[in-house]
Amino acid sequence: MPRVKTARMRGHFGGDGWPDGQWHLAEVHAFERLGRHILFDVSSMNCYETTPVVHAVVDAVRSKADGSAQLAGGRFPRHQIKQAVRQLQDRGILLPGAQSVPRARPKLAKRLGIRHLELMVTHACNMRCRYCYGSDDRDGWQEATHLYGARQAGMTWETARKGIDFLFQASGAQKDLSVIFFGGEPLVEFDLIVQVVAYVRDKERETGKQVGFSVSTNGIGLSQKVVDFLLAENISCQISIDGPPAMHDRNRVLATGQGSYDRVMLGVQRLIDKRPGRVPARVTVTAGQVDLPAVADHLMSLGFGSIHIEPVIGTAGALSLGNADLQQFETQTEHLAHYLVRRIKDGRIFNFSNLVRHVRQIRVVDQRLAHFCGAARTYVALAQDGAFYPCHRFVGMAEYRMGDLEQGFDDTLQRRILDLTVDDRPECRECWARYLCGGGCWKHSVDVHGDLARSDLESSCRLIRHQIECAMAINGALKVSDKELLSEAYERTAEPYRISEQGRQS
């Protein structure tokens, strides 16, 4: 965006500090969060910490009212208004004339090329979490098969091997690949995981490619043998845990219906002892159980390296967060944001990845996301029956099947998703956060609207926008060195595919 500097274009200022003539705003989002005034220029992706007078000027222009009338109330001195206007003009935010033509949109990079494979090694699980989307019967969750829509639980070695062959072949010239073991509870198939890792190591030597591994587990299967293996093979391991015992045991129960906290902690502590400060925790929050500080405090005391808290939203019935819960979630997120800032000023890290992810992303000014995640484009899930899906959440949904190992990969859905950038989706293209959000989880869109192109405005979009606002305010509060510390901490604990995906999207 060229800077507008000529005196003619700046206009002449009246007695109240307001420029003569007609003006309009670039696409900006001005807000106050965590006690800071922030202005985000969507076109340039520049993010500013501002003053109340700048916000007043932006509000006045946006309201199309007579600026002089609004600002003459003595709230701000004339010279401050004049400075604010000039600086907005200098940064191409306040533009002369009326907005008549649609704004030009940047060309978004559409990234394509499979290099992350999610292996659904099993759909069997030793737990029966009440919110599990693997269950096909929420009312009878305890008796449900938890197979998503699939008909069998385990993946055979033959299917896994062919899946790995597919990854190496489909990734073409790309060198950095990743394999994610998912389930069910993937450690139920530990022997298969060992076999896959050995096979991949051979393929690495053959091809010169490198593969990062990660596994998402409920922690029950983390025996010493498994932990030793994860360490030896440098496999990233994310633990699903919902906080202190009372909160955790409410939804994360064993097949017997008993809480799983005590069982889980045996293995989790074993892993944390070996990887202090490097084990990520993934927390699921359900309706009526929103207590993020308690969760964060507990998990930090256990020695987790990062905490990601995901609310149940969408179509999970009584477990989904309602409006009151969402408000509480936002308020408590801000508490944690304050805490994050205080803590890092004390030289300590609080890796609350819901926010740190965006803090890291916002720091880099010229990064625009076209999509929320790599599902279907760079990332694909291989179900136990050999079928491909965009990610684990879609497994078993026939209309989102992307071929299989026998018939071959079907790229129809891939091409469709590739073309559904944030500038192509009706709700996203009007949203100020689109290039930072990428459009939200595809599965949420399908759950709420039955349509990939739509967005879950009421809950998913709302929470993401709020988190981005908090992250921008945090960015304003932190020194560059602090942000670098946070970014490093994030990289230490995030899954390899997430790092590479975020680092390379533009």
Partner 1 sequence: MKRRKVLLWLSKAAGGYFGAAAAGTIPQLLMINTVRLGEAQAQTGNDVPGLCPGEFCPTDGASGPCVTDTCATRDKCEPGDAGHTCYVSDTCDIDESGDCRGDACTVDSSGACSADTCATDNSGGCISDSCTSDKSGKCRSDVCVSDSSGDCSSDQCNEDKSGACAGDSCDADNSGNCSSDQCNEDRSGACRSDRCNIDKSAPCTGDVCVNDSSGDCIKDVCVVDNSGSCDTDLCRQDSGGPCSSDVCASDITPPSRADAGMSRALRWLYRVAMLLLALNLAPDDAFAATVIDASDAMFGTAPSFQTAQTITVPNPMGAFIRDCDGDGIDEADTNGDGNCAGDPKLLDYNGDGSRELPAGTPFSGTFQFRCVGVSSDIALVTTGPVALHSAGGAGIYGAVFAAGDFALTAIDKIDLKTSSWMADEGRTLTFRTGLAGVVDQAQHDYSETGLPNLSYAGACGATPGSGGQPIPSVSAWGLVFLLLVLSVVAWRWGGLRKVRAQH
* Residues lying near partner 1 in the complex (CB under 8 A): 34-36, 38-39, 45-51, 53-54, 79-80, 83-84, 86-88, 91, 225, 228, 244-247, 262, 291, 293-294, 297-298, 334-335, 338-339, 341-342, 345, 362-366, 472, 475-480
Our CB check for partner 1 shows the closer of 13 and 409 to be: 13
Q: How far apart are CA 376 and CA 74, in angstroms?
A: 56
Our CB check for partner 1 shows the closer of 271 and 313 to be: 271
Our CB check for partner 1 shows the closer of 274 and 363 to be: 363
Q: Which residues pair with 240 in a beta bridge?
A: 282
Least Å distance, CB 33 to partner 1, is 10
Least Å distance, CB 107 to partner 1, is 17
Six-digit token pair at 352? 């609350």
Our CB check for partner 1 shows the closer of 91 and 377 to be: 91
Q: How far apart are CA 189 and CA 221, in angstroms?
A: 10
Our CB check for partner 1 shows the closer of 155 and 226 to be: 226
Q: How far apart are CA 427 and CA 460, in angstroms?
A: 13
Residue type, 168: F
Residue 26 has, within 13 A of its CA and on its CB side, a CA count of 23
Q: How far apart are CA 380 and CA 119, in angstroms?
A: 9
Least Å distance, CB 434 to partner 1, is 16
Strands 236-240 and 210-217: parallel
Check if the beta carbon of residue 158 is closer than 8 Å to that of residue 166: no
Our CB check for partner 1 shows the closer of 203 and 263 to be: 263
Pick the closest to residue 383 from 404, 400, 399 (CA basis).
404
Our CB check for partner 1 shows the closer of 93 and 380 to be: 93
Q: How far apart are CA 114 and CA 119, in angstroms?
A: 14
> Strands, DSSP E only, in 273-411?
280-285, 306-311, 379-382, 388-389, 403-404, 408-409
Cβ-in-10-Å burial (0-12, 13-18, 19+) of 311 comes to buried
Least Å distance, CB 354 to partner 1, is 17
Our CB check for partner 1 shows the closer of 79 and 416 to be: 79
Least Å distance, CB 225 to partner 1, is 5
Q: How far apart are CA 76 and CA 52, in angstroms?
A: 9
Least Å distance, CB 77 to partner 1, is 9
Least Å distance, CB 3 to partner 1, is 13
Least Å distance, CB 209 to partner 1, is 25
Pick the closest to residue 389 from 133, 130, 158, 198 (CA basis).
133
Q: What is the CA radius of gyration of the chain?
A: 25
Least Å distance, CB 424 to partner 1, is 25
3-state SS class at 448? helix
